Amino acid sequence: MALTLYRSAVLLALASVALLGFGVVTADAQKKGGTLKVGILGEPPSLDVHWTTATITETLGNHIYEGLYTLDATNRPIPMLAESHTVSKDSLVYTFKLRQGVKFHNGKEMTSDDVVPSLARWGKQSVYGKALFAQVSEWKALDKYTVEMKLKERSAIVLISLAVPNNFGAIYPKEIAEKFAPEVKATEFVGTGPFKLAEWKPDQYIRMVRFEEYKARNEKPNGFGGGKTAYVDEIRWQPVPEVATRVAQVETGELDFADDLNLDAYERLKKNANLHPIVAKGNSWLIAVLNKKEGLMTSQKLRQAWQAAIDIEPIMKNVAGGHSEFYRMDSSLIMAETAAWHTKLAGLPWNERNRDKAKKLLQEAGYKKEPVRFMTTQEYKWMYDFALLTKQQLEDAGFVIDLQVVDWATLVKRRNNSKEYDAFTTGIGAIYDPAHVNFLTASWPGWTTDEDIAKLQADMARETDPKKRMAMWEQQTRQVYEKVPIIRYGDLAGLRAARNTTKGFDEKMGRVRFVNVWVEK
Amino acid sequence: MTTYLIRRLLTLVPVLAVVVTVVFLLIHLIPGDPVSVMLGPDATPAQIEATRRALGLDRPLHEQLFKFYARILRGDLGQSYFLDRPVVTALLERAEPTLVLTLSALFVAVVIGVPSGIIAAAYQGSLWDRALMLMSLLGVCVPGFWLSLNFIYFFAVRLGWLPAAGYASILSDPLSALRYMVLPAVSLGFNQSALIARISRSCMLEALQQDYIRTARAKGVSQRSVMWVHAFRNALVPVVTVIGITMAILIGGAVVTEIVFNIPGLGRLIISAVLRRDYPVVQGVILVTATAYVLINLGVDVLYVFIDPRIRYG
């Protein structure tokens, strides 16, 4: 017995030493230095994150700028440049305390003088800023480190709007925020983030270097927030438009990380011992947006017929190149990565695969084989694939589909003209709050003008009790499946690849971030 | 000769006037809009409209066209919507990679094509002839992008001899520039060498059947001298014409090569500009490319005088 105890104690001690040793090794392994070369799909239209909703701008911009809030690992808002906030009893006044001693890349300290004009600009241009500032009656500085937001009505979206990473409320220096009108893209890029822009050679590279005076938060890294460390000296973003070349360059080591890869490269990447493919869950879900303003799809029965006819799993399997790890069957309008708003409702008419029901609905709608103009593009292979398979399934149910394949620039232009199409394909990325669902608004292409849907969206933007909001969101989800403003397909993951020398990359967050990432070469 | 050159250069004006007008109308009339692309997928129609106004894209097309003419006459090609810089600056930045790629590929095409054609002609009907012509047939048939991707796979990914893609300036780092340029120049040049080889062969065969060749041989002139001094010199005019055409084709063909090998040249610039509907850049690149085509043709015509003394321009 004594011997056993003695042996256990020794083993425990050895294990502790090993664990401690491992801990030391891990901590030591996080080393500063080196250049991280990242292959991206293309050139950003701008690095002005207030101005554009382009994902590539979001990815790059989040290394340069920070907002008052950001998202934690569960996609909930947490403070970033804000120290804290208080809300008045009537919920109409938000007072934000700013962190002190935070420097911009130009050496100037960030204060309320910068925060007020930055968010005022953002509130006039950004999708999320406009939604929030529609509820704001007054926005001003109280002192150097305090700002106040007065609301016209109670709002549930103050913090989450300030935290979304896309088209986000980045804090620019006052001089830049005031120099560029909201609708004019800024051409000077100065933020408070861990990296600062060093050089931008269009179609060659965008070089960001570590901002030595960056003031990190004291907390541990948490999602897009918490303590952020720029370990690498430099991130070199290299636009490589040809996806096969991006794959080859990460294989040869010319790139340390490659984003937006085609799923058919997965098997080849898996076989390479020097790198590992990353399945980016929560990337987007596939959607057919239906034109409710004019044309065939103004008929709810026709929309319901489309929803009833499709068999989603074979479509997703095909789009994902047969790899089950790249698609998810899910009816929730907000993906599982945002757990707070992910719904699991039974009995929804999603993926019904009911051709008879579809035929009946077509008959009830008085459909006379008029061609449905379904717009897609080959620039995004997955869009074309799912449109093509949808066409086949719908035609089997009695629809006539006029598949119009155009380039992306044409699609995004034409989808704003209600006369030019009946449906179009796109992907819906991460949504962090039900009030931010663009396809349920009357201003976004497809034009969801249904009064019941609009009323519930407006109510949700005002309701601050999370439980009541969730009940409303579930009601809205049921309503969407009944009125069918859009067709919800499955979730599609993205494919990335990182060399084994790239360490610390957070694979769980849907978006690419290189803070707290280091290279071992 | 001087009068001829001036006359030819003057013809450049109406050609370019037609080219810029057609390109302006085409790029503006095709669907698509730079603002929708720049503002991203979630932008609302109201945001798009505001930015269109800010860029002057809401003005009538004829008004935009006249403004464009006025700018061109002042030597101003406008400002890129995407790149935040004057089009002229963007063009100058991209000219070097395209020029280096085109000249390297032309070098490869000529070095492979001309000797292959001559050897095939000299040994007409032999195994050499058949093998070289089969190779040139392959060169014509194989798509450039397929060849490029296979080159990358074998020479960069599998063997690791050369970089898969990228570019280094020949002015700042000639050695790296050479390493980056080998695969694109060979893949682009190989395709074009086929045409040069076939034309060289047929021109040489035609020249070798002329009376003066028979006379030279009868006089006991060596085979080498017959081939290079008598036959090749006379076959050179059509070969130079093809090389000139090849040069022009290479400027166009460089588009695919630049995309695959990620070379930041004019080809990649125009593809990006078309996809983004960056109108000023598209117009600028086409204007420069059209000018280059006309000047290359003029250069080839001038070269004839030096190759064949019988040719005179009045």
Q: Among the listed ranges A123-132, B60-69, B255-264, which one has the minimum average pLDDT value?
A: B60-69
Confidence of residue A25 (pLDDT cuts 50, 70, 90): very low
Q: Among the listed ranges A110-114, B167-171, B198-202, B232-236, which one has the minimum average pLDDT value?
A: B232-236
Confidence of residue A13 (pLDDT cuts 50, 70, 90): very low
Average pLDDT of the residues in B73-88: 87
Q: In residues, how long is chain B? A: 314
Total beta-carbon pairs less than 8 A apart between chain A and chain B: 142
Q: Among the listed ranges A203-212, A281-290, B36-45, which one has the minimum average pLDDT value?
A: B36-45
pLDDT for the residue numbered A1:
41
A252 near A51, Cβ under 8 Å?
no
Q: Among the listed ranges A15-19, A25-29, A169-173, B118-122, which one has the minimum average pLDDT value?
A: A15-19
- A15, pLDDT greater than 50: no
Asked if B38 and A52 come within 8 Å (Cβ–Cβ), the reply is: yes
Q: What three-state secondary structure class fits A312?
A: helix
pLDDT for the residue numbered A14:
47
Confidence of residue A17 (pLDDT cuts 50, 70, 90): very low
What's chain B's average pLDDT?
A: 86
Asked if B164 and A249 come within 8 Å (Cβ–Cβ), the reply is: yes
Average pLDDT of the residues in B295-314: 76
Q: How far apart are CA B266 and CA B99, in angstroms?
A: 9
Q: Among the listed ranges A12-21, A317-326, A476-485, which one has the minimum average pLDDT value?
A: A12-21
Burial (CB count within 10 angstroms: exposed 0-12, middle 13-18, buried 19+), residue A198: middle
pLDDT for the residue numbered B145:
87
Asked if A45 and B268 come within 8 Å (Cβ–Cβ), the reply is: no
Which of B42, B163, B272 faces A43 most closely, judged by CB atoms? B272
Confidence of residue A233 (pLDDT cuts 50, 70, 90): very high
ipTM value for the complex: 0.80
Q: What is the pLDDT of residues B62-80, one digit of tens each?
A: 888 888 888 888 888 888 9
Quote the longest CA-to-CA distance of chain B. Answer: 85
Comparing alpha-carbon positions, the chain B residue that sits nearest to A57 is B40
Q: For A65-212, where are the alpha helices, taking DSSP H only? A: 112-125, 127-133, 158-163, 174-179
pLDDT for the residue numbered B314:
60
Which of A46, A127, A242 faces B260 most closely, judged by CB atoms? A242
pLDDT for the residue numbered A12:
47
Q: What is the pLDDT of residues B180-200, one digit of tens each?
A: 999 999 999 988 888 889 889
What's chain A's average pLDDT?
A: 92
Q: What is the pLDDT of residues A49-98, one digit of tens each?
A: 999 998 999 999 999 999 999 999 999 999 999 999 999 999 999 999 99
Nearest CA-CA partner of B267 in B134, B116, B128, B105: B105
Asked if A414 and B31 come within 8 Å (Cβ–Cβ), the reply is: yes
Asked if A53 and B149 come within 8 Å (Cβ–Cβ), the reply is: no
Q: Which residues contact A476 (CB under 8 A, 6 or more apart)?
A: A333, A434, A440, A453, A456, A457, A460
Confidence of residue A18 (pLDDT cuts 50, 70, 90): very low
- A141, pLDDT greater than 80: yes
Comparing alpha-carbon positions, the chain A residue that sits nearest to B259 is A242
Q: What three-state secondary structure class fits A105?
A: coil
- A343, pLDDT greater than 50: yes
Q: Which residues on chain B are in Cβ contact (under 8 Å) with A183?
A: 47, 50-51, 53-54
- A395, pLDDT greater than 90: yes
Comparing alpha-carbon positions, the chain A residue that sits nearest to B52 is A183
Cα separations (Å) of A438 from A153, A433, A449, B126, B282? 21, 11, 12, 71, 33
- Distance, in angstroms, between B54 CA and closest chain A CA? 7
Average pLDDT of the residues in A152-177: 96
- A519, pLDDT greater than 50: yes
Comparing alpha-carbon positions, the chain B residue that sits nearest to A180 is B54
pLDDT for the residue numbered B137:
84
Asked if A444 and B44 come within 8 Å (Cβ–Cβ), the reply is: yes
- A181, pLDDT greater than 60: yes
- A45, pLDDT greater than 70: yes
Comparing alpha-carbon positions, the chain A residue that sits nearest to B32 is A410
pLDDT for the residue numbered B313:
66
Asked if B82 and A242 come within 8 Å (Cβ–Cβ), the reply is: no
Q: What percent of chain A has pLDDT over 90?
A: 86
Q: What is the pLDDT of residues B101-131, one digit of tens each?
A: 999 999 999 999 999 998 898 888 889 889 9
- Distance, in angstroms, between A384 CA and closest chain B CA? 17
- Strand A77-79 versus strand A69-71 pairing type: antiparallel
H/E segment holding residue A77: strand A77-79
Q: What percent of chain A has pLDDT over 70?
A: 95
Asked if A409 and B33 come within 8 Å (Cβ–Cβ), the reply is: yes
Q: Which residues on chain A are in Cβ contact (under 8 Å) with B92?
A: none
Average pLDDT of the residues in A393-401: 97
